Structure 1
Amino acid sequence: MGADEATGLMNQLFWYAAVISAPVLIAVLIVGLLVSVFQVATQLQEMTLSYVPKLLAAAVVLVTVGPWMVHKVAEFAVTMIRLIPSLAN
């Protein structure tokens, strides 16, 4: 395996990681922004008010998008396992 192939595999790994984590990160970002606006508008600075909604949003997204995420991880793993025989050359 050359440096170009290794770089390509790392690029693919980082792309899959970004795609798989994006739904959870975007949902938590949106909920965090909404909670921050609510806290500024009401001047309520409670610490649990910022963590609990984000945790619930992450859980809901993981439950709804979880099977797709597992499918993408399994797809990547199968692709990498199929590449093992060609790495010995």
Structure 2
Amino acid sequence: MSEEMVIGILKDAIMTGMKAAAPILIVSIVVGLIVSIFQATTQIQEQTLTFVPKLIAVALVGLLTARFMQHTVMSFTQRIFDIISTITA
């Protein structure tokens, strides 16, 4: 196993993780920003107000993008198994 192969696998793993997590993270950031703007304009400083909308939004996005995330991770796993099968001892 060469150094370039290891670096390529690590790069692919990081990109796969970013692709799989991106929808949930982006929605969480956007909802958090919207709730923060709402809290700043209304001067309601309730700490628990940020969690419920984020939880609902993340759950909905998780349900809607579960197939995409599964496909992304399964594709990476298949590539890893293909690499393992080509390595000779």
Length-normalised TM-score, structure 2: 0.94
Q: Identical aligned pairs, as a percentage?
A: 35
Q: Cα offset for 1:78?
A: 0.9
1:20 aligns with 2:6: no
Question: What is the match of residue 54 of structure 1?
Answer: 54
Question: What is the match of residue 87 of structure 1?
Answer: 87
2:53 corresponds to which letter in structure 1?
Answer: P
Q: Cα offset for 1:86?
A: 2.0
Could you list the runs of 5+ residues in structure 1 that have no partner in the other structure?
Answer: none
How well do the aligned residues superpose, as a CA RMSD in angstroms? 1.0
User: Moved runs in structure 1, 4+ residues, more than 4 A?
Assistant: none
Length-normalised TM-score, structure 1: 0.94
1:16 corresponds to which letter in structure 2?
Answer: T
Q: Cα offset for 1:66?
A: 0.6
Q: Distance in 1 between matches of 2:71 and 2:44?
A: 41
Could you list the runs of 5+ residues in structure 2 that have no partner in the other structure?
Answer: none
Q: Distance in 2 between matches of 1:35 and 1:57?
A: 12
Q: Distance in 1 between matches of 2:66 and 2:49?
A: 25
Alpha-carbon displacement from aligned partner over 1:48-86 (angstroms, at most 9, x marks no partner) = 101111111110000001111111111111111111122
1:35 aligns with 2:35: yes
